[in-house]
Chain A
Amino acid sequence: MNKKAISPVIATVLLISLVVVLASIIFLWARAFIPETIQKFDSPIADSCARVVFEASYSNGVITIQNNGNIPIYGIQVGIKKGFSIEYSEVTPATIVTGGTGDYDVSGASIKTDDELVIVPVLLGKTSNGELKGYACSDENAKIIKVQ
């Protein structure tokens, strides 16, 4: 009859601790289902991709990009159409400012005459953590050039 239980303060602290731990576990689990968003100019980076305007040309293992829009181009992805496949090569990023021209060395890729090159612009955006990250735009923003 005179048995004592834990005090109301301890019981409350225990309950709050349990809720905090459970909420943290659920938050960590649910966070993985939310895709990482990359932003540029405070809007989704895909919006900036739609505003990229550039010209591309290829000569002797070098792709020259002329940035005619007002979005800086951080780099490019170069896809080579081979038969019924497209394979992309690694290209070292080099920013081309608005109105500027830049060269990308693709001599390492086996590009031959009559190959078709798919050039996809890469923009630099910011993740929700504040980290800067390159984002390859979609094929709709790509330029296709034929190697002469």
Chain B
Amino acid sequence: MPRLSKSNNMIQNKKGISDVVATVLIIMITIAAVAVIAGFVVPFVRNSLQKSTECAAYKSYYIFDESFGYNCYNGNTHSISIKASFDKSLAENVGGIKVVFSDKSGASKVVEIKNDSVSSQDEGGISIKGKPGENLRIPGPGGVITYAYSALAEEHFLSAEVYPVLKNGRICADSKESIDLMACRD
């Protein structure tokens, strides 16, 4: 009978871990994996999903209101009436609104309106129509506010768009509403 070398003998006699220990190890690894998924992956996916859809609810949240007949321009003063939806739960997350004025060449100007920001009737400034001294504010749930934007001498805008800016800084540009501005009748 041939004699086995010492190294061959060691390989032949090597023992693995027992079935019980292997099972316990697999269960522990599974529990650890579940804990990691529950702790990091699930909140991450939920957060990502929430971020990617948070603007969806704001579709048509702001619209141009026609009840005052003031979506128009008179010289360099461009007036727009913006109405908010009645949904109070959505209103809580709105930090401001952006209004984009565009001219016929496609050039545009963005004006941001936030609560308590300073109004101005100077060129390039915006104020609440009929209340020029008051600070700006955004329409509350269901409310309508008419703003007057004093364009620069060379600016003549023919359309406007409005969309909400959320308190976390997210700009919901896909939720915009637009209107063509006419010459004011008065």
What is A's interface to B at a CB cutoff of 8 Å? 25, 28-29, 32-33, 35, 77, 79, 83-88, 120, 136, 139
What is B's interface to A at a CB cutoff of 8 Å? 45-46, 49-50, 52-54, 56-57, 59, 67-68, 70, 79, 81, 86, 128-131, 139-146
- Closest CB-CB distance, B163 to chain A, in whole Å? 17
Query: Which of B70, B131, B142 is the one whose CB lies under 8 Å from A88?
Result: B142
Q: How far is the CA of A84 from the CA of B129 in the complex (A)?
A: 6
Inter-chain contact A32/B56, CB cutoff 8 Å? yes
Q: A86 — which chain B residues lie within 8 A by C-beta?
A: 67, 142-144
Give the A-B pair count, Cβ closer than 8 A.
Answer: 61
A sample of 6 inter-chain contacts (CB < 8 A) reads A25-B49, A35-B57, A85-B144, A85-B145, A88-B86, A88-B141
Given A83-B129, A85-B145, A87-B143, decide whether A25 and B81 contact each other with a Cβ distance below 8 A: no
Query: Which of B54, B130, B141 is the one whose CB lies under 8 Å from A84?
Result: B130
Q: A87 — which chain B residues lie within 8 A by C-beta?
A: 140, 143
Q: How far is the CA of A83 from the CA of B129 in the complex (A)?
A: 8
Q: How far is the CA of A136 from the CA of B57 in the complex (A)?
A: 17
Q: How far is the CA of A84 from the CA of B53 in the complex (A)?
A: 34
Closest to A32 in B: B53
